[in-house]
Amino acid sequence: MVIECQKPDCNHRLKGPKSMIGQRVRCGACSFEFIWAERYYEADSFVVYDLETTGLSPEADELIQIAAVRYRGGRLEPEDSFFSFARPRFPIPSFIESYTGIRNAHVREAPRPGEVLCRFSSWAGGDTLIAHNGKRFDGKFLEATCRRHHLESREIECIDSITLSKMLFGKARGTGHCLDLMKSRLGISDTALRRHDARGDVDLLGRAITEMQRRLDLDNSLNGVLRHSTRLPIVS
Binding site for Zn ion (CB under 5 A): 5, 7, 10, 12, 27, 29-30, 32
CA distance 40 to 207: 24
Minimum distance of Zn ion from residue 6's CB (angstroms): 8
Beta-carbon neighbour count of residue 66 at 10 Å? 26
Nearer Cβ to Zn ion, position 13 or 154? 13
Residue 219 Cβ, how far from Zn ion at the closest point, in Å? Answer: 15
Residue pair 157/142 in contact (Cβ under 8 Å)? The answer is no
Q: Cβ 65 to Zn ion, closest distance in Å?
A: 47
Nearer Cβ to Zn ion (26/75): 26
How many CB atoms are located within 10 Å of the residue 9 CB? 6
Nearer to Zn ion, 5 or 232 (CB): 5
Looking at 2-137, list the stretches that DSSP marks H as alpha helix, in order from N- to C-terminal side.
94-100, 104-107, 113-124
Least Cα distance to 76 among 164, 190, 208, 219 occurs for 208
CB 84 within 8 A of CB 119: yes
Between CA 222 and CA 39 the distance in angstroms is 11
CA–centroid distance for 4 within its chain: 28
Calpha distance 190→57 (Å, rounded): 29
User: For Zn ion, which is the closer residue by CB, 8 or 174?
Assistant: 8
Residue 5 or 116: the one with the smaller Cβ distance to Zn ion is: 5
CB of 36 to Zn ion, least distance (A): 13
Q: How far is the CB of 32 from Zn ion (least distance, A)?
A: 5
Q: In whole angstroms, how far apart are CA 86 and each of 170, 198, 235? A: 36, 12, 18
Q: Please identify, using beta-carbon distances, which residue of 32 and 169 lies nearer to Zn ion.
A: 32
Nearest distance from residue 9's CB to Zn ion, in Å? 9
